[in-house]
Amino acid sequence: MLFLLLVIGSRAIAINSIIVDNETGCVLEEHGLNSRVPISSLTKVALAMVLLDWSTLCKKSLDQVVEVPPAAAAQGPSNPLGLASGDRLTLRDLLYLSLLVSDSQAAQTIAYRVGSQLPNTKELGPVDNFVSHMNALAMELKMKSTLFLNPSGLDMPTSQTQPYSTVADLARLIRYAYTKPGLEFYVSQKSREIHVERSGKSCSVTINNTNKLLGKECIDGVKTGSSPLAGECLILTSEHRPEVKKVGNTVYTAPRRIIVVLLNAPNRFEEGLALIQQGWSLYNTWAAEGRLTHGHEVL
């Protein structure tokens, strides 16, 4: 691996990372595979999948307009729109805000609205119920070293248990997400115009994706994150054209996409780009040898 341990001043920084073939789940390279650490706003990928799965299964439109509740408006740092209690916008625009600019108020609003419509056998509040479905999804995907405690990934007070995950579990989540329609399109957008109704007036603002690597080395997603406890975090995917082979009258197609997860990185974009480049080199060697999974960890 290129990035295992850095020393800045007198402080050692352990960097957890993984490179995975999306099609097979074969781990091409890893460091800290199952180390449990905070993941900050990478959490919002799980938020997005619970929302998108609910929308699909229950045939609910993401164009429905929802109101920002007081509790959501108090979450986290300010956002490009300065969302306030009573603001109205669509679930779709809330999802864009959550994924492109890590808006915690938007994430909390989604959880509040949708959490009140999800099955709730434990009679939890809407947000806690939504988070319980995020954890249920993690269990379904065998993300055994993951715990979500809020919908946004914000650090909890230091006296409380912190949410956590691993690079392996997050790669499992991305593999699942890319089997479904929706997330891939949202996270590939470099910018989006968001519309908000405030005090009876409609206003709009263009938000820009915080993923600076979009478009480089065929990178088309996924999510950035950072917090005091998690450091700088990044999930990337990169897709090359499928490999096509014809044997007799049969045509074989091999999709080619790799996933990179990088946690607690001093320079996530520089390191993430290097891992993507390294990943394709490893992938090409692995593919030339027959895409064998023997001797590799498989997620």
pLDDT digits 0-9 by tens, 201-253: 999 999 999 999 999 999 999 999 999 999 999 999 999 999 888 888 888 88
The predicted model scores a pTM of 0.93
pLDDT of residue 8: 37
Predicted confidence (pLDDT) per residue in 5-40, tens digit: 443 333 345 689 999 999 999 999 999 999 999 999
Express each pLDDT in 127-168 by its tens digit. 999 999 999 999 999 999 999 999 999 999 988 999 999 999
The mean-pLDDT minimum among 8-17, 95-104, 118-127 falls in 8-17
Which residue has better confidence, 98 or 7?
A: 98
CATH for the stretch 5-288 = 3.40.710.10
User: Per residue in 34-82, pLDDT tens?
Assistant: 999 999 999 999 999 999 999 999 999 999 999 999 988 776 655 556 7
Q: Which residue has the tokens 């300010």?
A: 78
Residue 196 has pLDDT above 50, yes or no: yes
pLDDT on residue 2: 45
Answer whether residue 272 shows pLDDT above 50.
yes
Domain ranges of the chain: 5-288
Per-residue pLDDT band at 110 (split at 50, 70, 90): very high
- Average pLDDT for residues 188-202, to the nearest whole number? 94
Query: Residue 76's pLDDT is what?
Result: 62
| Beta-sheet pairing, 27-31 with 16-21 | antiparallel
Of 216, 144, 222, 233, which is closest to residue 187 (Cα–Cα)? Answer: 222
Q: Which residues, 6 or more positions from 166, have their beta carbon under 8 angstroms from its beta carbon?
A: 16, 32, 33, 34, 35, 36, 37, 145, 146
